[in-house]
């Protein structure tokens, strides 16, 4: 009887530890190439990489934000949970870098929700502002 209680407790611990994975979306996980950031209908091309795993997101991108040929950069990372096409993201760190130094930003420990859709080989983040961050699938986790 004691062994059954221990096995039951171990099963429940494993179940609760994996709960975020049970409410997840395997199609989301993999390597993505950020290709566009859309703000108020204006499309800004991106170059970079984003990796999404069960429990974690990391992304880096460069872009010509002002259209002047000078590249800016953005890097972010942190843990995630996923449910109902929403990523809850605890942004451990996000850095916006602009060579001019104007508007450089460092965000730490900011939590927010990102609604997303997957359309063919595109992952689209829909932000509350109406902005969209569009990435193209490079590889799934199984590859």
Domain ranges across the chain: 25-140
User: What is the structure's pLDDT at 105?
Assistant: 83
Cα-only R_g, the chain: 18
User: What is the structure's pLDDT at 36?
Assistant: 96
Q: Which two tokens stand for residue 42?
A: 């204006």
The structure's pTM equals 0.78
Q: How far apart are CA 138 and CA 143, in angstroms?
A: 10
10/140: higher pLDDT: 140
- Residue 74 pairs in a beta bridge with 61, 96
Instruction: Give the count of beta carbons closer than 10 Å to the beta carbon of residue 110.
Output: 13
Angle at 115 between CA 105 and CA 77, to 5 degrees: 40
Q: Which CATH class is domain 25-140?
A: mainly beta
For 62-88, how does the pLDDT look when each residue is reduced to its tens digit (9 = 90+)? 999 888 888 999 999 999 999 999 999
Q: How far apart are CA 106 and CA 93, in angstroms?
A: 7
């Amino acid at each position: 009887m004691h062994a059954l209680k221990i096995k039951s407790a171990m099963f429940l611990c494993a179940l609760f530890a994996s709960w975020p994975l049970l409410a997840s979306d395997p199609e989301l996980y993999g390597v993505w190439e950020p290709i566009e950031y859309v703000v108020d209908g204006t499309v800004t091309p991106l170059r970079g990489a984003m990796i999404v795993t069960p429990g974690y997101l990391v992304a880096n991108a460069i872009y010509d934000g002002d259209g002047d040929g000078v590249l800016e950069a953005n890097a972010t990372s942190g843990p995630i949970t996923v449910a109902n096409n929403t990523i809850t993201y605890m942004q451990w760190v996000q850095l916006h870098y602009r060579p001019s130094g104007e508007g450089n930003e460092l965000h730490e420990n900011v939590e927010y929700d990102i609604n997303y859709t997957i359309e063919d080989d595109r992952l689209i983040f829909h932000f509350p502002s109406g902005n969209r961050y569009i990435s193209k699938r490079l590889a799934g986790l199984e590859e």
